[in-house]
Amino acid sequence: MQIFKFWPRVLVAPLAACALAQAVAAGAPPFEPLPAPAGAPATLSSEARWAGHGWQAIEAETQRLAVREIGSFQGRPTGGLFGLGTRPVQLHWRAYRHRSESRGAVIVVPGFTEALTMYQELVHDLVVAGWSVYVMDHRGQGFSSRLLPPEPPTAQGDDDAGERGHIDEFEHLVDDLQAFVQRVQASRVTDAAAAQRPTVMLAHSMGGAVVSRYLARVGAASPVAAAALVTPMHEPRVAEPGTNKVLRRWCDDGAVQLPFQLPGLSARRVQGEGFDVERAAWWAQADRADNELTASVPRLQRRWADRMARCEGEHCGHPHARVAGPTLRWVAQACAGAAAARGPEAARIAVPVLLLQGGLDTVVEPAAQQVFCANVNAAAPGRCTAWRLPQARHSVLVEADAQRGPALQAVLQFLAAAPARGPDLRAP
Q: Count of alpha carbons within 13 Å of 214, Cβ hemisphere only?
A: 33
The closest of 209, 183, 150 to 74, measured between CA atoms, is 183
Q: Give me the pLDDT at residue 19, please.
A: 44
Return the DSSP state at 209: H
Q: Give me the pLDDT at residue 38, please.
A: 82
Q: Give the integer Cα–Cα distance in Å for 147 and 76.
A: 11
Q: Give the integer Cα–Cα distance in Å for 426 and 71.
A: 21
Return the DSSP state at 338: H
67 in Cβ contact with 101 (< 8 Å): no
Q: Which amino acid is at 363?
A: V
Q: Give me the pLDDT at residue 80, please.
A: 65
Q: Give me the pLDDT at residue 174, please.
A: 98
Strand partners, 86: none
Q: Give me the pLDDT at residue 254, please.
A: 46
The closest of 44, 163, 114 to 410, measured between CA atoms, is 44
Q: Give me the pLDDT at residue 15, please.
A: 39
Give the C-alpha distances (Å, rounded to integers) separating 242 from 17, 91, 235, 237, 245: 8, 40, 16, 12, 8
Q: Divide the 428 residues of the chain into consecutive groups of 10 and give the mean pLDDT of each group.
A: 36 40 60 90 94 95 98 91 76 98 98 97 98 98 92 60 88 98 96 95 98 98 97 84 47 49 63 82 90 95 95 97 90 90 97 98 94 96 97 98 97 94 45
Strand partners, 269: 327
Alpha helix segments (H runs only) across 242-365: 248-249, 255-257, 275-284, 297-306, 328-342
205 in Cβ contact with 393 (< 8 Å): no
15 in Cβ contact with 248 (< 8 Å): yes
Q: What CATH number belongs to 9-416? A: 3.40.50.1820
With a CB cutoff of 8 Å and minimum separation 6, the contacts of 410 are 34, 37, 354, 356, 387
Residue length of the chain: 428
Other CB atoms closer than 10 Å to residue 8's CB: what's the count? 8
Q: Give me the pLDDT at residue 421, please.
A: 59
Q: Give me the pLDDT at residue 329, please.
A: 87
Q: Give me the pLDDT at residue 243, please.
A: 45
Query: Rounded to the nearest 5°, which phi and psi values hold at 239?
Result: -165, 165
DSSP strand E in 4-86: where? 66-78
